[in-house]
Amino acid sequence: MNRTKSHPRFTEVHAANLKYLTDRIIVLNVPAVKEHLASVLDLLERQHKNHYKIYGLYSERSLNHDAEFYGPVSKFFVENGKPPTFDTILEFIKDVDRWLDLDPLNVIVVSNQGVKDRAGVLITCYLVRSAYCVTANEAMQLYSKHVTTIRKPSQIRYIKYYS
């Protein structure tokens, strides 16, 4: 993976809602994008046609926006305010590995349903697993720089346990 500080593929309209963490990992804030969802999906189709997969992170009580996405979608349940289970982390990482290994043009789009630290735990664990980042701290710093800081002690512990 190439490390990038910013990505030229999106306009300022999408800057707060669609974050390229790396060339192959994108974080999407669905509630903030609701009114712009069609334009975000259009951008994904133009830039990554047939090469993107949506990863929806939901709690049991959250809204499910799968019907609004087209293309491959994987759904993971993570309770609000708690870190994902280790089984969820492992399942997410295996699925991401399979998708990204299929084609060097493939990207993942992690739809965080407005809770960015929930996505952060899964993504930072993947960054360590894939050796994109050497340590959990490096992965959390990268996520913090591009998306948001992971602050909950239990989530930080899970990332460090995993690494």
Confidence of residue 3 (pLDDT cuts 50, 70, 90): very low
Average pLDDT on 89-109 reads: 96
Q: Which SS3 state, helix, strand or coil, does residue 20 take? A: strand
Residue 119 and residue 154: Cα distance in Å, rounded?
14
As a whole number of angstroms, the distance between CA 23 and CA 21 comes to 7
pLDDT at site 22:
94
Place of tokens 């999106």: 10
3-class secondary-structure state, position 63: coil
The more confidently predicted of residues 15 and 93 is 93
Residue for token digits 């990505």? 7
pLDDT > 70 in the chain, percent: 75
Q: Quick: pLDDT tens for 12-43.
A: 445 557 789 999 999 887 654 456 677 778 88
In this prediction, residues 99-124 reach a mean pLDDT of 86
- First and final C-alpha spacing in the chain: 19
Position 155, amino acid: Q
Taking the model in full, what pTM does it have?
0.81
113: left (phi over 0), alpha (psi -120 to 50) or beta: left
Q: Which amino acid is present at 57?
A: L
Q: At 122, list the tokens.
A: 């899964």
Compute the mean pLDDT over every residue in the chain, rounded to the nearest whole number.
80
The least confident of 50-54, 69-73, 106-110, 147-151 is: 69-73
Whether the CA torsion 59, 63, 64, 68 is positive or negative: it is negative
Percent of the chain whose pLDDT exceeds 90: 40
Q: Which of 62-90 are b and which e, b meaning 16 or more Cβ less than 10 Å from the residue's Cβ?
A: beebeeebeeebbebebeeeebbeeebbe
pLDDT of residue 2 exceeding 50, the answer is no
